[in-house]
């Protein structure tokens, strides 16, 4: 069955409508005073009643969950914090003792910085500015010492580098943790190493060696992208497809092909094929419907304004649900900082 379109004002408040050439009702307008008859002032209790979080899927490093009843400004704040302000540990300083490989020092240092390190950043402090040495509470030391040599047991005519040379591929598993000071006592069971063992850092040939010492510090994505804890964090709004008139037979078949598979299903009612919206969530909104003259005006494509489908994929340092919790705590920390400043500084 088709649903009637919402009343004008409700539609403007709740839905972002996708027209053929543009998007309408983009901005949030439900502020007090805009709509007569609606009480839009902030009400914590009403917010708490309407708000919910549904976890859809959690697999390894990726998490998909819905947040319903929140506004774009706050959802975007969470996304921005996940990308740029949740701290992690990454290699910052590389002390090169010997590098006779073909990879230049700075390129090697850049590559080492981008490797994700499995170390819980909440156990460490930020390094003080101007501190060159690094203490045991803010630095992790790693060593990479590898030398390539010729394999004496290789066959005479083989040309396969895996057989001819040993240690010619430098992987991230060759990075070893060197405890500083009392770190062995502070972290007795800890196993600090890169998240993935098989990241190829450099290639060597016999006679070349790499001997570097690395210092990892705590940092945030705003400073350098290597500190970002997520592979990516994104959200989309829940799609909402309404059929304004009943669509039957051939038109129904065309309609089904216009959307992603599973969105429109065709039911057989009294011998006629009738289209019905089965699951609008799966749609990616390619707007194929607008290319068909006959179907253009029978469908309304919209998005529900306050229903966000978040997708967070972590690099492996922290599990994605921990990242989301940390992001929310960071936003609270920002507010608290300004509240404290307001209370301490007298305003004239």
Partner 1 sequence: IQADGTEGNCVTFVLHDEDHTLGNSLRYMVMKNPDVEFCGYCITHPSESKINFRIQTRGALPAVEPFRKGLNDLMAVCQHVLSTFERSMKEYRAQR
How many Cα atoms are found within 13 Å in the side-chain-facing hemisphere of 219? 22
Structure tokens at 295: 């179907």
Question: What's the start-to-end Cα distance of the chain, in Å?
Answer: 63
1 binds partner 1 (CB under 8 A): no
* Residue with Cβ nearer partner 1 (135 or 340): 340
Q: Are 117 and 229 in contact (CB under 8 A)?
A: no
**CB of 248 closer than 8 Å to CB of 272:** yes
Site membership for partner 1, residue 85 (CB under 8 A): yes
**Is 74 among the residues that bind partner 1 (CB under 8 A)?**
yes
Total residues in contact with partner 1, by rule CB under 8 A:
44
CB of 332 to partner 1, least distance (A): 5
123/339 with CB nearer partner 1: 339
Q: How far is the CB of 73 from partner 1 (least distance, A)?
A: 4
Q: Using the minimum distance from each CB to partner 1, give the nearer residue, 4 or 347.
A: 347
Among 28-36, 169-177, 180-188, 265-273, the segment contacting partner 1 (CB under 8 A): 28-36
33 binds partner 1 (CB under 8 A): yes
Rounded to the nearest whole angstrom, what is the least distance from the CB of residue 148 to partner 1 in the complex?
Answer: 45
Interaction between residue 346 and partner 1 (CB under 8 A): no
Under rule CB under 8 A, residue 291 binds partner 1: no
The 3-class SS string of the chain reads: CCCCCCCHHHHHHHEEEECCCCEECCCCCCCCCCCCCCCCCCCHHHHHHHCEEEEEEEECCEEEEEEECCCHHHHHHHHHHHHHCCCEEEEEEEEEEEECCCCCHHHHHHHHHCCCEECCHHHCCCCCCCCCCCCCCCCEEEEEEEECEECCCCCCCCCCHHHHEECCEEEHHHEEEECCCCHHHHCCCCCCEECCCCCEEEECCCCCEEEEEEEEEEECCCCCHHHCCEEEEEEEEEEEEEECCCCEHHHHHHHHHHCCCCCEEEEEECCEEEEEECCHHHCCCCCHHHHCHHHHCCEEEEEEEEEEEEEEEECCCCCHHHHHHHHHHHHHHHHHHHHHHHHHCCCC
One residue of 10, 20, 54, 106 binding partner 1 per CB under 8 A: 54
Nearer to partner 1, 206 or 319 (CB): 319
Site for partner 1 in 98-157 (CB under 8 A): none
**Residue 5 interacts with partner 1 (CB under 8 A)?**
no
32 is a contact residue toward partner 1 (CB under 8 A): yes
- Contact between 313 and partner 1 per CB under 8 A: no
Q: Measured from the CB atom, is 58 or 120 closer to partner 1?
A: 58
- 51 touches partner 1 (CB under 8 A): yes
The least distance separating partner 1 from the CB of residue 26, rounded to whole angstroms, comes to 14
Q: Which of residues 146 and 309 has its CB atom nearest to partner 1 in the complex? A: 309
By CB under 8 A, tell whether 38 contacts partner 1.
Answer: no
Nearer of residues 70 and 251 to partner 1, judged by Cβ: 70
Using CB under 8 A, pick the residue from 26, 53, 107, 155 that binds partner 1: 53
Record the tokens describing residue 278, joined without a space: 């089965």
Cβ 33 to partner 1 shortest distance, Å:
7
| Residue 113: φ, ψ to 5° | -65, -30
Least Å distance, CB 74 to partner 1, is 5
Find, among 235, 234, 241, the residue nearest to 309 by Cα: 235
Task: Report the interface residues with partner 1, using CB under 8 A.
Answer: 28, 31-33, 40-42, 44, 47-48, 51-55, 58, 65, 67, 70-71, 73-74, 76-77, 80-81, 84-85, 321, 324-325, 328-329, 331-332, 334-336, 338-339, 341-342, 345, 347
């Amino acid at each position: 069955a088709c649903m009637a379109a919402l009343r004008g004002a409700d539609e403007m408040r709740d839905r972002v409508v996708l027209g053929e050439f543009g998007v309408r009702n983009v901005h949030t307008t439900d502020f007090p005073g805009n709509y007569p008859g609606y009480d839009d002032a902030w009400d914590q209790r009403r917010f708490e009643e309407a708000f919910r979080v549904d976890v859809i899927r959690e697999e390894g490093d990726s998490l998909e969950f819905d947040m319903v009843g929140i506004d774009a400004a706050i959802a975007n704040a969470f996304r921005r914090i996940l990308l740029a302000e949740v701290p992690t540990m990454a290699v910052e300083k590389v002390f090169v003792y010997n590098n006779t490989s073909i990879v230049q020092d700075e390129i090697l240092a850049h590559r080492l910085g981008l490797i994700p390190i499995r170390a819980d950043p909440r156990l460490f402090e930020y390094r003080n500015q101007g501190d060159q040495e690094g203490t045991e509470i803010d630095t992790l030391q790693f060593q990479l010492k590898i030398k390539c040599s010729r394999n004496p047991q290789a066959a005479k005519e083989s040309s396969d580098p895996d057989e001819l040379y040993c240690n010619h591929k430098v992987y991230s598993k060759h990075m070893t943790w060197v405890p500083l000071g009392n770190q062995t006592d502070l972290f007795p069971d800890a196993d600090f190493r890169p998240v993935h063992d098989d990241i190829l850092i450099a290639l060597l040939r016999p006679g070349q060696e790499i001997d570097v010492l690395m210092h990892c510090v705590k940092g945030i994505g705003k400073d350098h992208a290597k500190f970002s804890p997520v592979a990516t964090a994104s959200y989309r709004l829940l799609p909402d497809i309404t059929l304004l008139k009943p669509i039957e037979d051939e038109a129904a078949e065309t309609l089904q092909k216009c959307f992603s598979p599973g969105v429109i299903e065709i039911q057989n009612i009294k011998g006629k094929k009738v289209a019905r919206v089965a699951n609008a969530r799966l749609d990616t909104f390619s707007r194929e419907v607008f290319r068909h003259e006959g179907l253009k005006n029978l469908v309304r494509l919209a998005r529900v304004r306050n229903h966000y489908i978040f997708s967070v994929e972590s690099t492996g340092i922290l599990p994605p649900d921990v990242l989301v919790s940390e992001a929310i705590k960071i936003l609270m920390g920002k507010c608290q900082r300004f509240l404290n400043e307001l209370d301490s500084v007298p305003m004239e």
